[in-house]
Structure 1
């Protein structure tokens, strides 16, 4: 179901989507009131929703739907381009992903980004909206649609979107990382559904937890706000990572959107570096880049956890951590919103353990003790 007050958006999206096998557009409405009338007779598997509309705005409608009939929803709005606030509201209300459409050359944008629309909708169709997850912020906006600058650079990077971590860091040398030290830390990688999972984790973890570094697939502008919100709701101190930040017990560093995050060894301590680079496994920040840096610098001094998300980013990196002596964990299918990244990590042989979300806080608190 497409809900947008722009006749152009409704027409072009309907044309784009219904020509693809496996996707049926059951209706297109100019506002949520019209949409609800149609949805009473046939409920959609996925909703594509604008924010600013007559009679009822998209955020209000989304809250209503998630309370009464949870349905995977892709927000498609120009309002999300203005900054993080509308995006955060949509995330809190339950959006599975967010596509920022431009205010000019709209038709060209819709047609040029057909593949990305299809990916977002198919990803939403596979999302599991568990009641407990709906009380936590849902997944981040889909990276390719974050800003005009990101969209402008995406086409140039598409040819290289399959790049591995080799494009940023040299492969592990095969030599063991430094033996265990008093500084040990946890590296976490996640994507779709990760914001709910991270809020759950950080709400459970005490200030005595080993330091944590996180890659959550999220574009620029949003990671700083996301880190601040986590910080408000956790006993740990959480911030967007900056080059030179030391990994300390009771602290967590979130990779900035649009940058890669690399862990460095500094004597017996560890700090991070924020670096530029191409998309790796279709993402920047990339979990593969983070995990490779951890394998090279920390080895058995680190715990690697790969969580809910679509695709395979992090699968190779977790195997490199495993081979370097780190303990490695994949979130299980039952507790994932999308069991893509953990599934691929398990297939690659990088996960020593597989466990549910609820079991992770205990393991993380006790790591290294």
Structure 2
């Protein structure tokens, strides 16, 4: 199958009724040629273009659309991880499959890729071992990603189908901040980084994070969050006490909740399927924080696809707690925050750093009036 001509025209049919359009981004001419040979022989795929750099990908995407971008990490100039948020924004809805020798399961680069917005990762085989089972696995990943329900393509990032409706804002609360519960998914690491770096050391309310990731990645993710935040962070275990100035992260095999025993809060790992279908899910975390702290809790919804956090966000709102959501322009995917905002649950819609400023102002005001 020949390479398709570049076109700025969008797709006209439903995904699955036409070949999946691919952009290959790799500085190795050999890798580009091998991937093209593997993929172009199959009728499910159409190679839209191959480029040798992230800058080349951004230039191509400025005038053309694709369904999936195969992106290498280690490239001269702008590396794949640095480029990933910009590539996602420029693609207006494409999925990114990281294909790199740095993308081994559990590797730091893999965690960063998934939390920055990649749909999946795949490790390149060793030198001279392209082909065979790798070609089959690559095709399987591409078909699975390519036939997933696509998010809406707009000029303001990905909305994941969030309706353009007038947003009703709830008033911000006052009073102390007893606990902050943060939910994130696709693009979450970048948003979490902006938020956590903007929190000063004297903001010491315990922080809970539910990030959509598989169990194998959670310890690596926790280590990365600790480095970013400059405060202790750990994957939550049943019965672990919440401590001021520390971060607990939902394990991949269970939802993060909390229990109060004799006035002391401890992690409670909740089993079972959540309404959102996510594991871990933001909703059970919000539910338990609302039950434990009421109006003294604050929920935060950052970049992510889907509606996880809406059900729990309503429980927070009913308890008088604030729900702060990331704004559209800074989110890789405005699905989760957009759904919470459209449901009328948000008290503020802000960039992550300004969410941090809002938390700090409230905490300091409560200290002054205490």
Which SS does the other structure have where 2:241 is aligned? Answer: coil
**Could you say what the CA RMSD is over the residues aligned between the two structures, in angstroms?**
4.0
* Structure 2 residue aligned with 1:85: 108
1:49 pairs, out of 70, 95, 105, with 70
Listed one character per residue, the Cα deviations across residues 292-329 of structure 1 (whole Å, up to 9, x for unaligned) are: 22223322231111122111111111011100221222
| Residue 85 of structure 2 corresponds to residue 63 of structure 1 | no
Q: Residue 294 and residue 89 in structure 1: after superposition, are their counterparts in 2 closer, same or farther (change >3 A)?
A: closer
Structure 2 spans left out of the alignment, 5+ residues: 1-21, 25-31, 89-94, 126-132, 158-173
Matched residue pairs, number?
A: 301
* Structure 2 residue aligned with 1:195: 189
| Residue 311 of structure 2 corresponds to residue 288 of structure 1 | no
Name whichever of 1-10 and 226-235 sits farther off. 1-10
| Residue 27 of structure 2 corresponds to residue 32 of structure 1 | no
Q: Residue 277 and residue 127 in structure 1: after superposition, are their counterparts in 2 closer, same or farther (change >3 A)?
A: farther
* Structure 2 residue aligned with 1:147: none
CA distance in 1, matches of 2:227, 2:329: 28
| Residue 324 of structure 2 corresponds to residue 310 of structure 1 | no
**Paired residues for 1:191-340 under 5 Å:** 191-209=185-203, 210-278=205-273, 280-340=275-335
2:118 pairs, out of 96, 103, 107, with 96
CA distance in 2, matches of 1:201, 1:297: 24
Listed one character per residue, the Cα deviations across residues 46-79 of structure 1 (whole Å, up to 9, x for unaligned) are: 562264xxxxxx4216835756994227134385
1:16 pairs, out of 26, 36, 44, with 44
Listed one character per residue, the Cα deviations across residues 93-139 of structure 1 (whole Å, up to 9, x for unaligned) are: x663333489848537745873533448x45977978xxxxxxxxxx
* Structure 2 residue aligned with 1:358: 353
Name whichever of 81-90 and 260-269 sits farther off. 81-90
Task: Using the TM superposition, give the Cα deviation of residue 10 of structure 1 relative to its aligned residue in structure 2, in angstroms.
Answer: 1.8
Q: Residue 124 and residue 60 in structure 1: after superposition, are their counterparts in 2 closer, same or farther (change >3 A)?
A: farther
Listed one character per residue, the Cα deviations across residues 204-249 of structure 1 (whole Å, up to 9, x for unaligned) are: 2123321110111122222211221221232322222222222222
* Structure 2 residue aligned with 1:164: none
CA distance in 1, matches of 2:321, 2:112: 37
TM-score (norm 1): 0.67
| Residue 140 of structure 2 corresponds to residue 117 of structure 1 | no
Which SS does the other structure have where 2:267 is aligned? Answer: strand
TM-score (norm 2): 0.67
C-alpha contact 2:85 2:332 (8 A) present in aligned 1: no
* Structure 2 residue aligned with 1:349: 344
CA distance in 2, matches of 1:327, 1:97: 30
Task: Using the TM superposition, give the Cα deviation of residue 36 of structure 1 relative to its aligned residue in structure 2, in angstroms.
Answer: 5.4
Task: Using the TM superposition, give the Cα deviation of residue 263 of structure 1 relative to its aligned residue in structure 2, in angstroms.
Answer: 1.7
Q: Residue 108 and residue 96 in structure 1: after superposition, are their counterparts in 2 closer, same or farther (change >3 A)?
A: closer
Which SS does the other structure have where 2:314 is aligned? Answer: helix
Q: Which has the higher helix share?
A: 1
Q: Residue 196 and residue 36 in structure 1: after superposition, are their counterparts in 2 closer, same or farther (change >3 A)?
A: closer
Structure 1 spans left out of the alignment, 5+ residues: 19-24, 52-57, 130-179
Q: Residue 17 and residue 339 in structure 1: after superposition, are their counterparts in 2 closer, same or farther (change >3 A)?
A: farther
Name whichever of 105-114 and 239-248 sits farther off. 105-114
Task: Using the TM superposition, give the Cα deviation of residue 184 of structure 1 relative to its aligned residue in structure 2, in angstroms.
Answer: 1.1
C-alpha contact 1:310 1:339 (8 A) present in aligned 2: yes
Name whichever of 251-260 and 69-78 sits farther off. 69-78
C-alpha contact 2:330 2:351 (8 A) present in aligned 1: yes
CA distance in 1, matches of 2:138, 2:272: 25
